[in-house]
């Protein structure tokens, strides 16, 4: 019997609030957000998926309806929390799509699954991010508030109206700090190569992830199925070039998904 003082597990639907289950999916695509982002960034993606793909955007603590939950700033702890809610959905072929911070989470989830000899994704789509082995970014999550906010402006991911709204900003700052901590997280002790296809995507004007760094994702996999694609736009080409990005995602998924019955 559960102790009266033990916390209840987080219901799975809080992690996947916009998932629309299919009766017989050929593949599930789990989508992880950028720092400060939420499952809402994938609204509308369902219509752009190949037939049989079940879209599963992941909602992390500290945003939208989970705003009052403490954000997780420790990558191993986040993987510990995510794997139990993912596990029941890994009974079908699946893939991960990670954008910026989401790429780091996707990589670590796959590493953990491989270490456990668990089910493995058909592929990883990693966008707007360089691999942790070439992490040369400043750990801005440790900066004093004014400097941290100044760096947020450089990323163009947080709307200016939020940065100017003192009360709202105070609510969001812990989540933003936690997210940038996750994105910066060191490579860890289990940085083994994955036997999983990787598709790396970036933008030609991304000041934070130069396109030449995308090629270094090849070092994370022993699979011959490795691709690099570049798009017009900056770090948030997910907004600027969504149609082109979705077309590339569809192409990858169609290669990886189970054949139609």
Cβ neighbours for 224, distance < 8 A, ≥ 6 positions apart: none
Buried b / exposed e over 90-103, threshold 16 CB at 10 Å, is: bebbbbbbbbbbbb
Among the listed residues 38, 100, 103, 106, the single catalytic one is: 100
Annotated catalytic residue 130: no
Start-to-end CA span in the chain (Å): 44
Beta sheet of 124-127, edge-to-edge order: 53-57, 27-32, 94-99, 124-127, 198-203, 226-231
In the structure encoding, which two tokens stand for residue 113, read together? 């699954």
Please choose, from the candidates 183, 248, 242, the residue with its C-alpha nearest in 3D space to the C-alpha of residue 41.
242
- Give the number of C-alpha atoms closer than 13 A to the C-alpha of residue 112, restricted to the C-beta side: 19
Residue written as token pair 């209840």: 8
Picking from 101, 107, 131, 129, the residue whose alpha carbon sits closest to that of residue 38 is 101
Q: Alpha carbon 80 to chain centroid distance?
A: 15
Active-site residue list: 100
């Amino acid at each position: 019997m559960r102790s009266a003082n033990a916390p209840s597990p987080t219901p799975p639907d809080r992690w996947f609030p916009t998932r629309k289950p299919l009766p017989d999916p050929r593949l599930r695509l789990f989508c992880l957000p950028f720092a400060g982002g939420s499952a809402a960034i994938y609204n509308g993606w369902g219509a752009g998926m190949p037939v049989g793909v079940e879209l599963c955007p992941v909602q992390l603590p500290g945003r939208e309806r989970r705003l009052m939950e403490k954000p997780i700033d420790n990558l191993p702890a986040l993987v510990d929390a995510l794997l139990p809610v993912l596990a029941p959905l890994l009974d079908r072929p699946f893939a991960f799509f990670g954008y910026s911070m989401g790429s780091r989470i996707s990589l670590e989830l796959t590493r953990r699954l491989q270490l456990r000899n668990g089910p493995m994704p058909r592929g990883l789509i990693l966008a707007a991010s360089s691999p942790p082995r070439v992490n040369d970014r400043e750990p801005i999550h440790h900066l004093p508030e004014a400097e941290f906010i100044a760096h947020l402006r450089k990323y163009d991911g947080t709307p200016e109206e939020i940065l100017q709204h003192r009360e709202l900003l105070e609510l969001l700052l812990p989540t933003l700090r936690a997210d940038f901590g996750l994105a910066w997280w060191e490579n860890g002790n289990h940085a083994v190569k994955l036997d999983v296809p990787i598709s790396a995507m970036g933008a030609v004007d991304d000041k934070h992830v130069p396109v030449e760094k995308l090629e270094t994702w090849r070092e994370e996999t022993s699979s011959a199925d490795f691709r690099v694609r570049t798009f017009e736009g900056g770090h948030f080409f997910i907004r600027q070039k969504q149609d082109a990005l979705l077309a590339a995602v569809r192409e990858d998924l169609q290669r990886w998904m189970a054949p139609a019955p």
